[in-house]
Chains A and B, each alone.
Chain A
Amino acid sequence: MKSYFCQDEYGQIAPVYSISAGLDYPGIGPEHAYLHDTGRAEYVPVTDEEAVQAFEYLSRTEGIIPAIESAHAVAHAMKLVPTMGKEQIVVINISGRGDKDCAAIARYRGEDIHD
């Protein structure tokens, strides 16, 4: 089974990094590769900074702490929603809770705090 990976022209896998441990991997699952190939899903990049801002925004405004992985989806929704009509509906899948990420977010914001 094949999937997509961050790699150079010789197939050497790139050393990658993400603030999210769950996304700190150079490839994607084969299901996503298939959805991409068939055009059923569209994939977009989100930076660490955008994800952290979305994490904080949703926590402050709704009291929902999204997992830092899910915060990437929130970040993209925050870009997308202003371009949409009021009658349109957006669903964000908050696939995990962010309590586990509070220490990492604090460190990202310069606090000397550890798990």
Chain B
Amino acid sequence: MIKIADAFKNGKAFIPFVTCGDPDLETTARLVHAAAENGADLIELGIPFSDPTAEGPVIQAANERALKAGTTTDSVFDLVRALRRDITIPMVFMTYANVVFSYGTERFLENCVDVGIQGLILPDIPFEEKAEFDPACRAHGLELVSLIAPTSERRIGQIAREASGFVYCVSSLGVTGVRSEITTDIGAMVRRVRQESDIPCAVGFGISTPEQAKSMAAQADGVIVGSAIMKLVAKYGRDAVPYVADYVKSMKDAIR
């Protein structure tokens, strides 16, 4: 059985994010294969949403293109079912509460298990609202990933104690997107989590270069990259696969 914990058994984890259906689902499938073959330890699959409130301009645009191309929650489930024929690393969905709720939370989670998804990231569900999804995820053997931000402070302990899968450490204030500099003390955030739990911590938001990845990975258990990948997809479209493959390899090599 594949578990999120598998991603953290191979040294520091590299976790790429792709928005499903940008520019089309066939390209997404090739991107996931390329990422897995070049060192990705876990894949975050974005189910596109009309109002992706945690995303910066790059992933917002990816969401818009994916929806315009006709991507639906059901077509993403079909994609994952096909990917699971040969992808053996864990995969999680990153999407928004209304995508899950309006589909019917129970039916959505049943389908996740059926197609081979290990967990869910819902950035618009804060700790205080997670009862809407967390018990249902646990009942299905899925892990709802908790996020902590530089402003979480006293809530970090509370969040860490109840976290499952991994803790998603948001590197900076604001939305996703490439940043030239990350000033948050990630090490301190991770140490605070460690006081409560030995759950893995992965850092995301703003990371794009191998140097940043190396510095973040030295302070945590893994690194998440989305916008830098979707920038390549925006630039090269259906021809982005070799560029993303090279990029994933360079990032995994940097944190090994």
Contact = CB atoms under 8 A, between A and B. Distances in A.
Interface of A: 2, 5, 7, 9-15
Contacts of A10: 72-74, 99, 102-103
A114 B155 CA distance: 49
A13 B102 CA distance: 11
B51 interface: yes
Nearest to B74: A10
B98 interface: yes
By secondary structure, the B interface counts as: helix
B103 A12 contact: no
Nearest to B47: A10
A20 to B, nearest CB: 21
Contacts of A9: 102
Contacts of A13: 50-51, 98
B50 to A, nearest CB: 4
Given A7-B102, A10-B72, 17 more contacts: A2-B101, A5-B98, A7-B98, A9-B102, A10-B73, A10-B102, A10-B103, A11-B73, A11-B98, A11-B99, A11-B101, A11-B102, A12-B50, A13-B51, A13-B98, A14-B50, A15-B50
B189 interface: no
Contacts of B98: 5, 7, 11, 13
Contacts of A2: 101
B101 A12 contact: no
A7 B97 CA distance: 14
Contacts, number: 26
Interface string B196-207: 000000000000
Contacts of A15: 50
B49 interface: yes
A5 B50 CA distance: 12
25 contacts: A2-B101, A5-B98, A7-B98, A7-B102, A9-B102, A10-B72, A10-B73, A10-B99, A10-B102, A10-B103, A11-B49, A11-B73, A11-B98, A11-B99, A11-B101, A11-B102, A11-B103, A12-B49, A12-B50, A12-B67, A13-B50, A13-B51, A13-B98, A14-B50, A15-B50
A13 B73 CA distance: 14
Nearest to B129: A1
Contacts of A11: 49, 73, 98-99, 101-103
Nearest to A13: B50
Contacts of A7: 98, 102
Interface in B68-99: 72-74, 98-99
B105 to A, nearest CB: 11
B122 to A, nearest CB: 12
Contacts of A5: 98
A14 B49 CA distance: 11
A10 B50 CA distance: 10
Nearest to B75: A10
B208 to A, nearest CB: 29
B181 to A, nearest CB: 34
Nearest to B71: A10
A2 B99 CA distance: 13
